[in-house]
Amino acid sequence: MMFLVALSFAYFAKALSGSYMKSTITQLERRFDIPSYLIGVIDGSFEIGNLLVIAFVSYFGAKLHRPKIIAVGCVLMSIGTFIIALPHFIIRRYEYKTSVPSVDNSTLNPSPCYVSSPTNLSCEGDSNLSMWIYVLLGNILRGIGETPVQPLGISYIDDFATEENAALYVGCVQTISVVGPVFGYLLGSLCAKIYVDIGFVKMETITITPADARWVGAWWLGYLIAGVITLLSAIPFWFLPRSLPVSGPQSPEKCTAEQKNNVFFNSNCYPSTDFIPTLRTLLGHPVYLIYLCVTIIQLNSLIGMVTYKPKYIEQHFRQSASKANFLMGVINIPAVALGMFSGGLLMKRLKLNIMGAAKFAFGTSLIGYILSLFFFAMSCENAKIAGVTLSYNSTDTVSYDKHLLSTTCNSNCMCSVSDWDPVCGANGITYVSPCFAGCTSSAGSGKNTVFSNCSCVGVAGNLTATTGQCPHKDDCDRMFPYFLALSVITSFIISLGGTPGYMFLIRCIKPQLKSLALGFHALATRTLAGIPAPIYFGAIIDTTCLKWGQKRCGGIGACRIYNTTAYRIAYLGLTLSLRTLSFIMCIPGFVLLSRQLKEEERNAIHEALTNGGTELEALRKEEFAISNSTDSNTDRETRL
């Protein structure tokens, strides 16, 4: 029981830190001034770390002290999490360009309309921003540390518990692991509200809000909390024995569920001399091969969608990172967990065979796909930004050209085209900076600053602008609850097919191939989906950026504003295109599965007839022998 509690806590810790990583992608982009595709590289590096040592840990781990190996893994995960937070303490404080005075020390603030070209900030120390490499290395170390937790932990339970209790214990561990992401996203929501340099700067000098594209939350704080939790999870394993008294009869040749999920785990499952021929046989199985391709494609879609969903909510519906993470934690994740549980329950109630499981998984995925098409209709218009999505004469343009920012109304100001310091004019249009709005004076300080004499605003008697972007239209606010409701429904329906789909994988191949089939499936999906999906999803999202931030020494930084229409089409289009491809591949899969089942049925009938004929012939011979014996006895009696 002590081991079960310790393993459940370790599962919770690793799930929490993993989901927290996904909740901080926007914060990391802005803090290190990097595009989305680099965030995808960082996110996928966890799987790289896992794959680096999986063979070594799987082969030698079972022969060593498993609880202590798990403890070492938890310590490594904790160190990796602390390394991710390290850059915050060794680089300069976060700075953002703004013309808003932080403190009102005079009755007349400096004019935002520069009479000469503004002086750029010093280029010195800009190389510190490359410290996102530490985040990458820390995440790789997290992946390395996570490797022994699953296979060694589950095998330890399976070895020293009865088969009935082992299933219950594994179910408890898996349930706890679902709770972890909920707390991970909630932690991300909390930290995103807190300013990145809290405790190091005076908060009254901060002129931006969490809704601003320049806002960076206390991303590092959550990693410290997750690191401490992971470190605490390692402690109980140091005091657990190498082995426990065996409960009940055990089969020495059985392979655990986690061993089946690991190609390299135990030589007892597959002797080394049989590995290559068995793998060749497995990959020659057409139904399994198609299933493998389908799940790899669908997981690419799923991983890419989940990784960037909080960012999509932020950019498309203009929600803060804190709110986006909160909604992921309390709405989407529970819906997925409930769907997976309900799918298993329905499969048991309906007593689905292999074809039934395949149709159920396909049907739920197809229904979810059809419902997802409605996301295209849930659109918000691009924010009205002069010179970016709107020309100064209020005609749509939706393209960024630095030459479009300057016009006659701000020609007297020497504005920097690299700035992003948005203000909202009295006319409801956002301007890239007070300078580009043609403002010549300001009053107040911080978030309460009001700019006046803004020649580009063009509202008679009210040439003013306030800090921040203009709020989006009410119809976008009304659309957001419907988006959330549809998101929950589709997540639940798609998750219903998770358990039947997994059971199909187990049943579609011969029993002696199950271990290798599950292990190779896990390895292939991690390599071909877990690593590349966040990278190319991020790269495609980058193509929809309208206004990039600028680094001190030149080069683009994090995106400040996206073309929301292009973002929606790229994000949803890529997600649904991958799923469309997977559905097309299911067609030959069902044909081959039907043929396989018919062939197995014919073989079973033929075998039954053959066995029946053999038994009938044996019975006839036995009757004939008895008959001969009776005749012989009769003749003997006659002679007597």
403 confidence band (pLDDT: 50, 70, 90): low
Q: Give me the percent of the chain exceeding a pLDDT of 90.
A: 36
- Of 293, 289, 321, the closest CA to residue 20 belongs to 321
Mean local confidence (pLDDT), 445-452: 83
Q: pLDDT digits over 136-164, tens only?
A: 999 999 999 998 888 788 777 767 666 66
Range with the poorest average pLDDT among 307-311, 359-363, 444-448 = 444-448
The contacts of residue 493 (CB under 8 Å, 6+ apart) are: 339, 364, 367, 368, 371
pLDDT band at 634 (very low <50, low <70, confident <90, very high): very low
Map residue 452 onto helix, strand or coil: strand
Q: How far is CA 56 from CA 43, 52, 147, 480, in A?
A: 23, 8, 10, 48
Tokens at 471, concatenated: 């709020």
Predicted pLDDT at 268: 47
Torsion region of 201: left, alpha or beta (phi above 0 gives left; psi -120 to 50 gives alpha):
beta
pLDDT of residue 509: 80
Question: So what's the pLDDT on residue 257?
Answer: 47
Average pLDDT over the chain reads 82
User: Average pLDDT for residues 319-324, to the nearest whole number?
Assistant: 91
Residue type, 259: Q
Q: Which of 45-59, 317-331, 334-348 has the highest mean pLDDT?
A: 317-331
User: Mean pLDDT throughout 348-363?
Assistant: 87
pLDDT, position 266: 45
Q: Taking CA 529 as the corner, what is the angle to CA 526 and CA 530, rounded to the nearest 5 degrees?
A: 55
What tokens does 389 get? 């999505």
Is a pLDDT exceeding 80 seen at residue 354? yes
Residue 487's pLDDT is what? 94
Structure tokens at 231: 């470190």
Query: How many C-beta atoms lie closer than 10 Å to residue 58's C-beta?
Result: 22
220-237 confidence digits (pLDDT tens): 999 999 999 999 999 999
Tell me the average pLDDT across 179-187.
93
List phi, psi (to 5°) of 441: -150, 165
User: pLDDT class for 267, splitting at 50, 70, 90?
Assistant: very low
Q: What pLDDT score does 627 carry? A: 55
Contact, 525 vs 269, CB < 8 A?
Answer: no
Q: Is residue 570 within 8 Å of 346, Cβ to Cβ?
A: no
pLDDT for 244? 66
Nearest to 339 by CA among 327, 350, 351, 347: 347
Q: Mean pLDDT over residues 580-596, rounded? A: 90
Stretch 461-468: mean pLDDT, rounded? 84
Q: Can you give the pLDDT at residue 638?
A: 40
Q: Which of 453, 447, 448 is nearest to 434 (CA)?
A: 453
Q: Is the pLDDT of residue 274 over 70?
A: no
User: What is the C-alpha separation between 444 and 432, in angstroms, rounded?
Assistant: 20
Query: What pLDDT does 136 receive?
Result: 95
> What mean pLDDT is predicted for residues 557-584?
93
Lay out the sheet containing 423-425: strands in order across: 430-431, 423-425, 465-467, 450-452, 441-443
Nearest alpha-carbon partner for 429 in 460, 397, 458: 458
DSSP 282: H
Integer Cα distance of 321 and 217 in angstroms: 9
Confidence class for position 639, pLDDT limits 50, 70, 90: very low
Judged against a pLDDT cut of 90, whether residue 578 lies above it is answered with: yes
**pTM attached to this predicted model:** 0.85
Backbone angles phi, psi at 522, to 5 degrees: -65, -40
**Segment 205-222, tens digit of pLDDT:** 888 888 888 899 999 999
Which of residues 116 and 309 earns the better pLDDT score? 309
- What's the distance, Cα to Cα, between the start and end of the chain in Å? 79
Q: Are 216 and 31 in contact (CB under 8 A)?
A: yes
Which residue(s) pair with 217 in the sheet? Answer: 195
Tens of pLDDT, residues 281-292: 888 888 889 999
What are 510-541's pLDDT values in tens digits? 877 777 787 788 888 989 999 999 999 999 99
Residue-range domains of the chain with CATH = 1-94+128-271 (1.20.1250.20), 402-467 (no CATH)
> What's the rounded mean pLDDT across residues 174-201?
90
pLDDT higher than threshold 60 for residue 123: no
What's CA 171's distance to the chain center, in Å?
22
Q: What is the mean pLDDT of residues 290-318?
A: 93
Cα separation, 257 vs 242, in Å, equals: 20
Concatenate the DSSP letters of all residues of 570-627 into one string. HHHHHHHHHHHHHHHHHHHHHHHHHHHHHHHHHHHHHHHHHHHHHHHHHHHHHHHHHH
Averaged over 606-621, what is the pLDDT? 63
- Rounded percentage of the chain residues whose pLDDT exceeds 70: 81
Pair type for strands 441-443 and 430-431: unpaired
Does the pLDDT value for residue 86 go beyond 90? yes
User: Which pLDDT value is given to residue 351?
Assistant: 84
Look at residue 387 and give its three-state secondary structure: coil
